[in-house]
Amino acid sequence: MDNAALLYALVQNALDGIITIDDIGTIETINPAGCILFGYQQEEVIGKNISMLMPSPDRERHNNYLSKYKITRKASIIGVGRDLIGMRKGGDLFPMKLGVSEVKYSGRTIYAGFIHDLSKQKIDEEKYKDYASHLEELVEERTKSLNDTIFALEKAKEKVSISLEKEKELSKLKNRFLSMASHEFRTPLSTVQLSASLIEKYAIPFESEPIGKHIAKIKNSVKSLTAILNDFLYVEKLEIGKMKPEFTCFDLVKFGEEITEEMQLLAKPSQNIVFKHIGVPTMIYLDANLLKNCAINLIGNAIKYSGDSCCIDFTTEINDADYIISVHDDGIGIPLEEQKHLFQAFFRAHNTGSIPGTGLGLNIVSRYVSLMKGTADFKSNEQEGTLFTLTFPIS
């Protein structure tokens, strides 16, 4: 195949439209792709001015464009290399890119125009623009939502901060009141206790049973109030961090026996506190005062919440890993749905009825045990009793 035949085949099979015009704009050739692009047959355009394929105002200005180009040789004048608008036979407009080459052929100058249809590209661009616009709106919307959320969080943070400050202030006021009450009420209670003892002494000659009963009631009431005030004082010390454990080495068996003897005096007439120690070792290293408070509190609860005739098991144990203190009773037990609140301050189960108490005891026990690096656990079933276990790892 010679060069002319090859060139002809390339033009005829090109995907883009190719049109050649003379120096005044008359169309000399158009390839099949160009005919399809503009919607004309070859015979409809050959010999016609190229301006027929242009919309206004380019159509009217085309000859002027060519004249200026011949003088200046600036391709931009005729739109070369730019995105332009073409016009099909029916008048429909479409976007296109035009490339023009000046060709010397048979002693004259002709111009070859290479036309690429941009319709699909423009549609895609519009889609991308719409998508980008949608993304911008979405980003703007999400940003606004995020800013609103941040603003709300900042406001909530401010409220929480204010609330925490108020809570701290209220906590300070509460602790001051508890401290004041614990100290100020002790003097009149001591006076009442002393006066009751004096009345008991002076009433001995009268041998009056009613007087003895009333004096006993006064003493028991004073003892109960003193215990309540002590609980308040313990809580106040825990809140402000004044309560620090003082670890010493002491005999756990002797400790258990003394507490059993002391608490047996406070038990109901037919209640029996049974002490047992498990393990050969007897010496432990803990805070004896804090541990005593825990044991007295647990045994006191067992006494309060158990029947008049029962056995309360008080057990100590030393094994290779832990010191263990446990108290078991067959009392009213703790309702299952309320057990999760048991160690909270001022909590009392609904089945305690009229049995007196502040709801602070177990909270104090839990915190004392924690100060000594131990854990407080329990198992309980309503009407079947409760087992409290305090475990302290041997370090």
Q: Is the pLDDT of residue 213 over 80?
A: no
Q: How confident is the model at residue 228 (pLDDT cuts 50, 70, 90)?
A: low
Q: How much is the pLDDT for 145?
A: 80
Q: Among the listed ranges 190-194, 223-227, 252-256, 275-279, which one has the minimum average pLDDT value? A: 223-227
DSSP symbol at 308:
S
Q: What is the pLDDT of residue 159?
A: 76
Does 126 score more than 80 pLDDT? Answer: yes
Q: Considering just the CA atoms, what is the radius of gyration of the chain in Å?
A: 51
**Max mean pLDDT range (151-165, 200-214, 373-387):** 373-387
What's the pLDDT tens digit per position in 293-304?
Answer: 899 999 999 998
Instruction: List the single range of 206-215, 222-231, 307-316 with lowest mean pLDDT.
Output: 222-231
**Are 232 and 364 spatial neighbours (Cβ–Cβ below 8 Å)?**
no
8-state DSSP, 335? -
Q: What is the pLDDT of residue 78?
A: 44
Q: What is the rounded distance in angstroms from the CA atom of residue 182 to the CA atom of residue 246?
A: 23
345 pLDDT higher than 80: no
Mean pLDDT, range 137-142, rounded to an integer: 80
Whether the pLDDT of residue 173 is over 70: the answer is no
The pLDDT value given to residue 106: 78
Backbone torsions φ then ψ of 279, nearest 5 degrees: 110, 155
Question: Over the chain, what is the mean pLDDT?
Answer: 81
Position 238 pLDDT exceeds 60: yes
Nearest to 66 by CA among 18, 19, 108, 111: 111
The predicted structure's pLDDT at residue 69: 63
Strand ranges of the sheet holding 83-87, from the earlier edge strand across to the other edge:
27-30, 17-21, 108-117, 93-105, 83-87
Are 362 and 342 a contacting pair, CB within 8 Å? yes
pLDDT band at 179 (very low <50, low <70, confident <90, very high): low
Q: Please name which of 281, 371, 377, 366 lies closest in space to residue 321, comparing C-alpha atoms.
A: 281
- What pLDDT, on the 0 to 100 scale, is given for residue 76? 46
- Token pair for 145: 């939502």
Cα first-last separation, the chain: 101
Distance separating alpha carbons of residues 161 and 167, to the nearest angstrom: 10
Question: Residue 394 phi/psi, 5° resolution?
Answer: -80, 115
| pLDDT higher than threshold 90 for residue 254 | yes
pLDDT at 40: 93
Q: Are 205 and 154 in contact (CB under 8 A)?
A: no
Look up residue 343 and give its two tokens.
């160690």
Spatial contact of 133 and 140, defined as CB atoms under 8 Å apart: no
Whether domain 248-393 has CATH 3.30.565.10: the reply is: yes
- Residue 293 contacts residue 364 (beta carbons within 8 Å): yes
- Top CATH class, 1-118: alpha beta
Which is higher by pLDDT, 234 or 333? 333
Q: How many CA atoms lie within 13 A of 164 on its CB side?
A: 6
Residue with tokens 């603003």: 151
In the chain, CATH 3.30.565.10 covers: 248-393
pLDDT above 70: residue 104: yes
Tens digit of pLDDT for each residue in 20-79?
A: 888 778 898 999 988 999 999 999 999 998 888 888 877 766 666 666 666 565 544 444
Which among 107, 112, 78, 108 is positioned nearest to 7, based on CA atoms?
A: 112
pLDDT band at 319 (very low <50, low <70, confident <90, very high): very high
176, amino acid identity: R
* The one-letter amino acid at 331: G
Interatomic CA distance for residues 294 and 2, integer angstroms? 112
More confident residue, 200 or 93: 93
**CATH 3.30.450.20 in the chain, residues?**
1-118
Using CA atoms, how far apart are residues 292 and 263, in angstroms rounded to an integer?
11
pLDDT at 96 over 80: yes
What is the mean pLDDT of the segment spanning 281-297? 92
